[in-house]
Amino acid sequence: MNMDQSVEVLNKIIRSRRSIFPKSYTGEEIPREAIELIVANANYAPTHKLTQPWRFRIFRKKGLELLAGEMERLYKVHTAPGKFKQSKLDSTRNKILSASCVIVISMKTHPDKLPEWEELASVSCAVQNMWLTASALHVGAYWSTPGTIAHLAEFLKLKPEEKCVGLFYMGFHKEPPREAKRKPIAKKTTWIEG
């Protein structure tokens, strides 16, 4: 097989991308231009019928305080009294404030054009583009999906056809590289050759 240099670079970026969590972030600010590049690459995701369903609200600087306040409020309002933990409330806030930037990911559905799962598939491709770009820039990132995101619509001023599907945390970090935990692809692949 003739592998040119770009495939080697691609393999390295794909295979070394990891979830890097806020506890590992250094606090150094990610320049706005880097975030612009990260979201610009999201925009090249494949999209059936060109609906381009990915939407991003980018929280940084003092914007992070607003998001942290709302996530804390939602945790208090939507957690049953018996399940409430002060440590969880504190970590909800601290995680957001440890990040240099949190991108709230939402998807715009087009019920007249496509089933919702196709839009979610497309948004997921966009998130992977962001994640790989962040990784190539040595920016740590992870996709977080706490139950409270179902209640963010008002705070985010989501349109009726828009749904929040997660928070994308980002921050510079000093984590050593770690191997991906994956079962071999051969266990998940069937070849039919005749």
In whole angstroms, the minimum distance from the beta carbon of 169 to ligand FMN comes to 10
Check residue 114 and report its DSSP letter.
S
* Strands (DSSP E) found in the chain: 54-60, 101-108, 139-144, 162-172
Nearer residue to ligand FMN within complex by CB, 66 or 180: 180
Nearer residue to ligand FMN within complex by CB, 59 or 142: 142
Six token digits for residue 193? 């050759």
**C-alpha of 157 from chain center:** 19
In whole angstroms, the minimum distance from the beta carbon of 191 to ligand FMN comes to 25
Nearer residue to ligand FMN within complex by CB, 54 or 142: 142
Footprint of ligand FMN on this chain (CB under 6 A)?
Answer: 18-19, 142-145, 166, 180
Spatial contact of 141 and 134, defined as CB atoms under 8 Å apart? yes
Report which of 51, 62, 52, 35 is spatially closest to residue 133, judged by C-alpha positions. 35
Range list of H helices, 51-105: 63-78, 86-98
Nearer residue to ligand FMN within complex by CB, 81 or 177: 177
Nearer residue to ligand FMN within complex by CB, 143 or 155: 143
CA terminus-to-terminus distance, the chain? 23
In whole angstroms, the minimum distance from the beta carbon of 96 to ligand FMN comes to 14
Spatial contact of 25 and 172, defined as CB atoms under 8 Å apart? yes
In whole angstroms, the minimum distance from the beta carbon of 166 to ligand FMN comes to 6
Rounded CA separation 17/138 (Å): 10
